[in-house]
Chains A and B, each alone.
Chain A
């Protein structure tokens, strides 16, 4: 570590240990997904097209570059059973969807992954602000979404009961595409009214999940009623689902939550995730760090790389901008490299998460103009 290194930087030994663990995990995951007795029909079918034997040639994480890029189009349509590894056959299975405003949504089958991911995430939450046994409010999308069940499980894992609202993001996107902005405002108000009703009904709610936009709308809705999230008893907020900017985060912390946690008693943690990968946590937000939001994937189960816009196998230098590339390696799901619809800057390993992270996540410039983002 040099004199100018930030205090949060991971030490090289931890980084090296994490890399070894990742290589070992990669090897085991590939063995599972490509072995005739345990692999899924999808990957066993793909094996023949690969031109190499993953069982023999994939020994480290870097070897995953031999795979072609994962295409999320493969996730559209049935039968979804093709994604279930034989080794997990017969277990109760969920299907979670993304997209689907028009056409066939992308589906991911899940058995226990959402529970495992959110239990791991639970251990990163400070008990002071996310007290065990506290009840939660889930202010996010309902329906066939991983997030809704995952947040409920997180709450239950921490000993609480989760209160939810009805929110159909597909209808929200339709309203935007139709230009029905008055209906959009009314629908947002309908969602916020549900949340305020729950928060003001003596349910002992101390923690919540909210997307940034809904968090802002809720805070504004409460302000109009002369109260605040803090006054309603909220002490911990887990936020994610749409883009965070440092400026929005600063506004949220300073003005909606009335200060950093040590002053306001309210802690907000931004996260980055999706149905394919799981959940990446952020370094704690500080004003000294200009409210930079840097995310770290839950390695070794998932990995985030920042790669060159032109060459998806080339990682950009630290601090440089590139496209977000995801890997998922659980017993339920295998993604050997997928180019996300986001870009960002490569961040150095953090002491708590001694591997690369990403900051400044925003829609990928190649798609930005054609994508409806941050709809709820």
Chain B
């Protein structure tokens, strides 16, 4: 069995406290993970400046090249992880076994991370709006129009408290490295695999190990990272997002409440968009904040719900190795049963209909885990509680709502796909501050263009644009 130890500025630390990562279905241990404490993190953070110093020995362009090499290593080569060598198939097996995600989805997430790493030059070009990258290294420089600009780095390291169950989110912290900002990561207890393999790939590609800390541990580790890193990101619940709201040091990522809004001008042709809607709801087992949890239209909503239910309602819980598996297991059974209870409450409200009821039982309990099969609920009004719900499996509410009331009724929406060609409504949608990413036209909510900032621009988070003058 693999033993994986914390990494403190690139050096493995043989912790006496270990945590077993277990197979969600068999209960067999997959790896032992050494744990740190908040105190250790706090002490280490006194040396955080060294991480940026080590990275600044390389130009941003050098680091971008190394990222490309790391992408190749991450996706294709055996890498040193803990006290063993991890092949690509080991990685996919391990990630699937601890998170409950089907193996082919683990592979897709791996590709997504590699895409971002491989295209780092383009991504940074977009995030920085084409500024020469040495502006970020030196802290000042000249724009191509001959004006002095300054971007001052606000933190030598980016801290991140990573989630347990969504291997796709790791793309968000990757661009810190070529911007010469070190990484202090707390891997999720069930998903240490991506951060460990990625850091191993970075180091194997020639990026200095002293730029990285990997801190598996308890809640105190997360809170210490958040309090001691000048800039950090956290993945959590709506409450977590609320807790850090307005805190300039923290980028909090929570539920997306992503939606598809169908305009009156196209709603009679809703069938043309059915596959896009199904993909938005069910891709990656509906786990992500970018999955669609609400489809809003002024009419045909029952028919839309029925059609989506017919596509995803029959999905079965299949073994993770099955290439047709579309559903991830809830590795914590109580989470599935708790979610099921909440949905029962949603359904108790009048005007809410379960459109997947005829496709068999939804809650599938197994010995050590459980599955929730896809659900499509119809709500006859935006005032129904379910209209603002998001759950960790393919779940969508199809909500009947007049177009004129949609923007004010949808609430906070990470990704809004608007199916319309109505210029006036497009203008209203463009100005709606409750929609973060806006897609106009048939773009599935899960299809992100990585050349656009996602939930805040990382360069703006890590660097401060300020005045910088030379005596004339």
Report A's interface with B, CB cutoff 8 A.
216, 220, 223, 245-248, 250-251, 255-256, 290-291
Check A247 against B15 for contact (C-beta < 8 Å).
Answer: yes
B43 touches A291 (CB 8 A): no
A290 to B17, CA, bound (A): 11
Task: Please name the residue on chain B nearest to A216 by beta carbon.
Answer: B39
Q: Is the pair B16, A220 in contact by a Cβ cutoff of 8 Å?
A: no
Cβ-based interface call for B72 (8 A): no
Q: Is the interface of A mostly helix, strand, loop or mixed?
A: helix
Q: How far is the CA of A169 from the CA of B410 in the complex (A)?
A: 46
Nearest neighbor of B35 in chain A, beta-carbon distance: A247
Q: A223-B46, A247-B35 are in contact. Are A255 and B17 (CB under 8 A)?
A: no
- A220 and B15 in contact, given A247-B35, A247-B37, A251-B37 (Cβ under 8 angstroms): no
Given the contacts A247-B37, A248-B37, A251-B37, A220 and B17 also touching, CB distance less than 8 Å: no
Other than the given A220-B39, A245-B17, A247-B15, 18 more pairs (CB < 8 A) read A216-B39, A220-B42, A220-B43, A223-B43, A223-B46, A245-B16, A246-B16, A246-B17, A247-B16, A247-B17, A247-B37, A248-B37, A248-B39, A255-B40, A256-B39, A256-B43, A290-B16, A291-B16
A362 to chain B minimum Cβ distance, whole angstroms, is 11
Residue pairs across A and B with Cβ atoms less than 8 A apart, 25 shown, are: A216-B39, A220-B39, A220-B42, A220-B43, A223-B43, A223-B46, A245-B16, A245-B17, A246-B16, A246-B17, A247-B15, A247-B16, A247-B17, A247-B35, A247-B37, A248-B37, A248-B39, A250-B16, A251-B39, A255-B40, A255-B43, A256-B39, A256-B43, A290-B16, A291-B16
Beta-carbon contacts under 8 Å, B13-39 to A: 15-17, 35, 37, 39
Chain B residues, CB < 8 A from A220: 39, 42-43
Closest residue on chain A to residue B227 by CB atoms = A185
A31 to B332, CA, bound (A): 56
Report the interface size class on chain B. Answer: 10 to 19
The residues of A that contact B43 with a CB separation of less than 8 Å are: 220, 223, 255-256
In the complex, chain B residues whose CB is within 8 Å of the CB of A246: 16-17
List of B residues within 8 angstroms of A223 by Cβ = 43, 46
Residues in chain B within 8 A of chain A (CB atoms): 15-17, 35, 37, 39-40, 42-43, 46
Most buried by B among A216, A246, A256, A291: A216
Nearest 7 Cβ contacts at the A-B interface:
A247-B16, A247-B17, A216-B39, A246-B16, A220-B42, A251-B40, A255-B43
| Complex Cα–Cα for A250 and B39 (A) | 12
Cα distance A247–B37 in the bound complex, in angstroms: 9
CB closest chain-B residue, reference A292: B16
Cα distance, A248 to B38, chains bound together (Å): 10
Measured CA separation A245–B40 after assembly (Å): 14
Q: How far is B42's CA from A251's CA once the two chains are assembled, in angstroms?
A: 12
CB closest chain-B residue, reference A185: B227
In the complex, chain B residues whose CB is within 8 Å of the CB of A256: 39, 43
C-alpha spacing A290/B16, complex, angstroms: 8
Residues of B with C-beta under 8 A to A247: 15-17, 35, 37
How many angstroms between the C-alpha atoms of A177 and B281 in the bound complex? 39
Kindly name the residue among A220, A223, A251, A290 whose own CB sees the greatest number of chain B CB atoms within 10 A.
Answer: A251
How far in angstroms is the closest Cβ of chain B from A1? 27
A220 to B46, CA, bound (A): 10
| A291 CA to B16 CA, complexed, in Å | 9
Q: How far is the CA of A155 from the CA of B411 in the complex (A)?
A: 63
A248 to B39: give the CA distance in the assembly, Å.
Answer: 9
Least CB distance, B161 to chain A, in whole angstroms: 16
Min CB gap A77→B, angstroms: 37
C-alpha spacing A216/B42, complex, angstroms = 10
Chain B residue, CB-CB nearest to A290: B16
**Min CB gap B181→A, angstroms:** 23
Report the minimal beta-carbon distance from A315 to chain B, rounded to whole angstroms. 27
Task: A223 to B40: give the CA distance in the assembly, Å.
Answer: 13
Kindly provide the distance from the CB of B8 to the nearest chain A CB, expressed in whole angstroms.
10
Point out the residues of chain B lying under 8 angstroms from A251, CB to CB. 37, 39-40
Contacts of B35 in A (CB 8 A): 247
A246 to B43, CA, bound (A): 18
A121 to B17, CA, bound (A): 30
Instruction: State in angstroms the CA–CA spacing of A256 and B39 once bound together.
Output: 9
CA distance A25 to B16 in the complex (A): 40
Q: Which residues of A contact B40 (CB under 8 A)?
A: 251, 255
B17: chain A residues at CB < 8 Å are: 245-247
Expressed in whole angstroms, the Cα–Cα distance for A245 and B217 within the complex equals: 14
Complex Cα–Cα for A216 and B43 (A): 10
A262 CA / B177 CA spacing, docked (Å): 41
CA separation between A329 and B39, bound complex, in Å? 39
